[in-house]
Structure 1
Amino acid sequence: MGLAIVHGIITNYGGTITVESLQGEGSLFTLDLPCVTDGIEKEAGSASALLTRGTERILFVDDEEMLARLGKEMLTHMGYDVVTYTSSLEALQAFQANPQSFDLVITDQTMPEMTGVNLVEQLRRVQSDIPIILCTGFSHLVNAETAHALGVEAFVMKPEGTRDLAVTIRRVLDKRDRPPSWQS
């Protein structure tokens, strides 16, 4: 997992991360998180009930296998049918084979084979109206303005909270002009 993502997760939870490095010996990372004991079960139950849900089919692309797996679990829990790829090239091939089977694409920006921006351009050549959410932990190449200029419906900085991502997905899906893939 990239350090920018780790830093984002830790600071979102009110914690800190420090690093001590010795050349030739390695690095020691120290994570400090606040301890919360009251209300955890109550909050977890109510958060799950309040999530914006859906049934659409989502193509989820992230080269980090762990993030792809977590993304699938989270979105499946929200009711979505999720197809994940850790290869942007394989994701593009799957989309090219059957573009109408997907209602939304969520893709990472920084990937080895093809960046998220390049993937967006290729997906748009196949189906110009596919809704796309572009995610990044840190990138010099893209920001919300450049993503919008590409026609990306939403630009998300990682880590995005579950509730916020659920709202973003629903907002993007509710704007589209075509029926969900399961109604076609």
Structure 2
Amino acid sequence: MARTSPSKFIAVVDDEPRVGEIIVMSLTMAGYEAKLFTDPETFLHDLGAMDPAPDLLVTDYQMPRMNGLMLIQAAKRFLPELRTISLSGTLHVSDIKEADCMPDVSVPKPFRQAELLAAVRKALAK
């Protein structure tokens, strides 16, 4: 696969470690630098100290204590320019319209690697 240059840093937040690891592996193979967080609160805690700051947040929608749209809203308080992707098998258009902060791209689950990478390119191009 083609490598991106320079490498973009992508934070992945998914409470299912196996799913998150597959996403990180796909992103890494495509030339991105990616790090998995299995807890949205840990990601938010670490966000201010990340160097470099992430260029993109890829987050699951359905997680305990905080859904993906809530995470996006909180993350954008720290990094307003942060690009975001929401992954979900349960996200409805009405959920997005009611959110204070919308993702740049929404990807329905299940998805293929090519669909994920196309969404990443689209989000980073905004």
* Sequence identity (%): 27
Shift of 1:159: 1.3
The runs of 5 or more residues in structure 1 that have no matched partner are 1-48, 176-184
Find out whether 1:155 has 2:90 as its counterpart: no
- 1:171: which partner in 2? 122
Structure 2 unpaired stretches of 5+:
none
Once the two structures are overlaid, the 10-residue window that deviates more, 72-81 or 138-147, is: 138-147
Equivalenced residue count is 124
CA distance in 1, matches of 2:58, 2:94: 15
Q: Alpha-carbon deviation of 1:129?
A: 1.2
Match of 2:32 in 1: 80
Distance 1:99 1:117 in 2: 24
Q: RMSD between aligned alpha carbons?
A: 2.2
Deviation larger for 151-160 or 74-83: 151-160
CA offsets 1:44-69 (integer angstroms, 9 cap, x no match): xxxxx4xx753210000000011011
The aligned runs of 1:67-146 (5 Å cut-off) are 67-98=19-50, 100-139=52-91, 143=95, 145-146=97-98
Residues 61 and 86 in structure 2, CA contact (< 8 A), matched pair in contact too: yes
| Partners of 1:123 and 1:100 in 2: CA distance | 15
Using the size of structure 1 for normalisation, the TM-score is 0.61
Whether contact under 8 Å (1:135, 1:156) holds in the other structure is yes
Q: What letter matches 1:160 in structure 2? A: F
Displacement, 1:145?
4.2
- Answer yes or no: is the 8 Å Cα contact 2:61–2:69 preserved in 1: yes
* TM-score, length of structure 2 as denominator length: 0.86
CA contact (8 A) 1:61 1:107 kept: yes
Q: For each residue in 1:124-182, what CA deviation from the matched residue of structure 2 results, as whole angstroms up to 9, or x when unmatched?
A: 111111000011111469655456x623100111111111111111111122xxxxxxx
Counterpart of 2:118, as a letter, is V
> Aligned with 2:48: secondary structure?
helix
